[in-house]
Amino acid sequence: MDPAKPDAEQPAKCPQCGTPLSGKALAGLCPACLLQAGVQAETVTGPAPSRFEPPSVAELAAKFPQLEILELIGKGGMGAVYKARQTQLNRLVALKILPPHIGEDPAFAERFTREAKALAMLNHPGIVTIYDFGRADGLFYFFMEFVDGVNLRQLLQVGRISAREALVIVPQICDALQYAHDQGIVHRDIKPENIMLDRRGRVKVADFGLAKINGDAAAIAPAGSTSSESGSASSPTPVLTESGRIIGTPKYMAPEQKEHPDAVDHRADIYALGVVFYQMLTGELPGKPLEPPSSKVQLDVRLDEVVLRALEKKPELRYQQASVFKTQIETIAGTPAAASRPPESPTGRSSPAASPAVTGEDLSISKWAFALFLAGCLGTPLLAMLRPQAEKAPILFGGMSLALAVVLGVKSWRAWLGKFVVVGSGALCAFFVVYAAVVMPGAEERLREKASVEQDHAKQTQAARIAAQPVTGETPAIIVAPADESPQNRHRQSAANAANHAGFSGPAAETSAVPPAQLLASQPAVVVETYPAAGAVDVPAGETEIRVRFSKPMSAGSWSWATAWENSGPDFIGSPHYLADHRTCVVKVRLQPGKFYGWWLNSEPFKNFRDAAGQPAVPFLFTFQTNPN
């Protein structure tokens, strides 16, 4: 009898699940296991160890009498997970065991205890909790929280997750990662298999087996995955993986995780989550070159910027915290899309050119553009206040700042901040151009016109004063108008030109020739004489009459006495009235000793001193001071 014949008659079995194989099975696996192997992501940690066969439920029950072992729910090259019940607490747990050969490393037990304690400290509703750990009959084990649900990989195999569902799931993952990062722990193996969803839709991040703890690469073999850890102790540092070994799942690993595994920090988890997010939105892994998600499926184009920033090759250009990643997603989920969705192609997919990718360089340039925009907006008025004499310097500074902001904004047009800077800076530049070309020359012209009007007014006032002098046969005295036509000089001029007329006592005025009568009629009335004399400093206190004589007859009952400052007027005893000549206005007052008085006889708001023709008199500031005794 052929000794090999009995073996040939026995059907071959699948080494993964034990299903009988018929004919020549591809790769020695049944179709179901072969399909599973095709979609399963491998976790790479080092050289592949010998194959691990998990013990049966009955064999394991003898090693853990405190548990009721229910079933094997997952296995891999470096571990297995069983569903069990803690009989004393009557709660379901997940029992994870490591292969026996792991314990051959003499230093493994110490490292296992130290790292398991660190992982057990992760107490967060979004992280699978470790209840207990230890060693039983040569097997290292963990008791973990049992999640009654599915992992994200299983959901993705059913079909693409909707963008709305992704916007609910990813912020929960960010919460869990931020908590772990705050505790100094980096997961280093974020992938769909390690993201669980229970029956209530709550997210649980599982399998911190490859976590980097407190700056050291501490890897405990993940259960239910195809990880392979040699467990060697060649590294001088107290870690569970060799220094420099690539750890993680290649398709989800950040570039620095492949190139410099010892220098990996929490931003590698953000990159991996970006890959998962991309896969949830599109149903595909990111390709080369990297295309925005909206170029593959129809969704809110604002998600492109969030996903592409998480997938930046340089860690410094990514989100620096998982909490910031979460905030960006929640902002988009909570606000309607600002722009319409990209147009669809005839095949039902969005056009790849509909939404250009926003890179980290765009964001960086747009921030510089915004800084120049603020400098132009705020620096221009500040410079104008600090250096009022430099009229054009603030405008030049603001214009140059905004021009540079426009240039940088155009270069970062794909970022929303770049668009804002271009529009805002363009509007302000247009304003500065109009102001410099129209407003400033107009203001200068108005100042010149005002100076010309004041000069003409001064000439008319001087001519009116000359016309008010009486006719004499003597040689006229020459009265020279002062170059300075300030109110003080006008007071001094009025006092110098005062004449002795009926009812007045005071210094005689110089006389001048009489100009033609028509000149007098065309000029506004001016004050030619006052009592007390304008500018006097020794006026007696007590009751007295204030007299003001004009250059021409005034309209009866028209006057305007306005205080020059607060409490600068005397106490009026009677009402103002004109004498018979209709040129002299008289009012009786009571003066206090040692006080400085001042009135405006006509002013800008009040011009009731008018001549017989109704023309307002030239404003006159009348001041004097009483004797202190």
In 3D, which of 535, 558, 536, 533 has the Cα closest to residue 547?
533
The strands making up 195-198's β-sheet, listed across from edge to edge, are: 149-151, 195-198, 203-205
Structure tokens at 542: 């007590």
SS3 category, 485? coil
Task: Single out the catalytic residue among 189, 300, 304, 362.
Answer: 189
- The span from the CA of 206 to the CA of 196, in Å, is 7
Tally helices (H) and strands (E) across the chain.
16, 19
In 3D, which of 350, 356, 346, 358 has the Cα closest to residue 296?
350
Element (H, E) at 133: strand 130-136
Q: What's phi and psi for 421, nearest 5 deg? A: -65, -40
Question: What angle do the packed helices 322-334 and 302-310 form, to 10 degrees?
Answer: 170
Q: What share of the chain is helix, strand, coil (3-state, %, to 5)?
A: 40, 15, 45
Structure tokens at 486: 């300030």
SS3 category, 47? coil
In 3D, which of 588, 587, 598, 593 has the Cα closest to residue 541?
593
- The span from the CA of 533 to the CA of 230, in Å, is 114
Residue 167: other Cβ atoms inside 10 A: 20
> Could you tell me if 513 and 505 are in contact, meaning their C-beta atoms sit under 8 angstroms apart?
no
In 3D, which of 27, 24, 22, 26 has the Cα closest to residue 11?
22
CA 601, 603, 609 angle in degrees (round to 5)? 50
Q: What is the largest CA-CA distance in the chain?
A: 171
Q: Over 68-131, what HEC string results?
A: EEEEEEEEECCEEEEEEEECCCCEEEEEEECCHHHHHCCCHHHHHHHHHHHHHCCCCCCECCEE
In 3D, which of 463, 458, 456, 457 has the Cα closest to residue 479?
463
> What's the half-sphere exposure (Cβ side, CA atoms, 13 Å) at 30?
13
> Could you tell me if 586 and 547 are in contact, meaning their C-beta atoms sit under 8 angstroms apart?
yes
> What's the half-sphere exposure (Cβ side, CA atoms, 13 Å) at 33?
17
265 included as an active-site residue: no
- The span from the CA of 460 to the CA of 473, in Å, is 25
- The span from the CA of 212 to the CA of 290, in Å, is 28
Please give the full DSSP string across 326-373, using - where no structure is assigned.
HHHHHHHHHS--SSPPPPBPTTSSBPGGGSPPPPHHHHHHHHHHHHHH
Residue 310: other Cβ atoms inside 10 A: 24
DSSP letter for 562, please. E
In 3D, which of 270, 93, 118 has the Cα closest to residue 208?
118
Catalytic positions, please?
A: 189
